[in-house]
Amino acid sequence: MKTSRLVLITSAAVVAAALPWLRADDSKKSTSSSNTVIEISKTAPEQPTGPVEKTDAEWKKELTPEQYRILRQAGTERSNGQVYEEFKKHGGGTYYCAGCNAELFSSNEKFDSHCGWPSFYDPANAKNVKYLTDTILGYERTEVRCKVCDGHLGHVFKGEGFDTPTDKRYCINGTVLKFVPNPEKKAAQEKGKEKSK
């Protein structure tokens, strides 16, 4: 009896000792994921008809940790990261709020400011954004929020000399945007209509 107990204890110790390595290996796998960070959808999401209000627990459940940190805690994504690279590769399309689906920006007003974050010179649907001015960093900054869900999107800077119609730079966290590319060709849809007549 004594010997078999000893064997059991010894084998348990071996397993326990091996666990840290197993765990370390798992964590490596989860950080090397190559998934896109800007959600892309084929169809435009249904637009919210009124203010979207949720509890903190509900937001945490629905959003990714990074989206939650930015939208609900006014965080900022890493500059010149994967988000920026993905954003630069997008063609024509529309950007929606990842929190509530409200239409926010269009690729028509997108420009490359080389600042490391997605930049637009005007919101496509101005009624869905609101502005809050703060002086936290010692100078006046204008925060841009989604008017529908009150989510933090980024900041807007004026008069920087960019060659755009508004001379404004909406510096937006791409993580909190959903991208819907423009339909490939309208001609194909028209043909479909002709057939159904």
Burial class of residue 90 in the structure, from the number of CB atoms within 10 Å of its CB (0-12 exposed, 13-18 middle, 19+ buried): middle
Q: Which three-class secondary structure state does DSSP give residue 47?
A: coil
The footprint of Zn ion on this chain (CB under 5 A) covers a number of residues equal to 8
Q: Which of 37, 63, 83, 148 binds Zn ion (CB under 5 A)?
A: 148
What mask of x and - would describe binding to Zn ion in positions 72 to 111, judged by CB under 5 A? -------------------------x-xx-x---------
**Catalytic residue status for 171:** yes
Please report how close the Cβ of residue 87 comes to Zn ion at its closest, in angstroms: 18
CA dihedral 51, 47, 67, 144 (to 10 degrees): -60
Q: Which of 149, 153, 156, 172 binds Zn ion (CB under 5 A)?
A: 149
Report the chain's terminal Cα–Cα distance, integer Å: 87
**Residue 154 near Zn ion by CB under 5 A:** no
In the complex with Zn ion, which residue's Cβ is closer, 15 or 57?
Answer: 57
Please report how close the Cβ of residue 153 comes to Zn ion at its closest, in angstroms: 8
Cα dihedral sign for 9, 15, 16, 18?
positive
Q: Give the separation between CA 59 and CA 162, rounded to whole angstroms.
A: 36
Which residues are designated catalytic? Answer: 171
Which residues of this chain interact with Zn ion, rule CB under 5 A?
97, 99-100, 102, 146, 148-149, 151
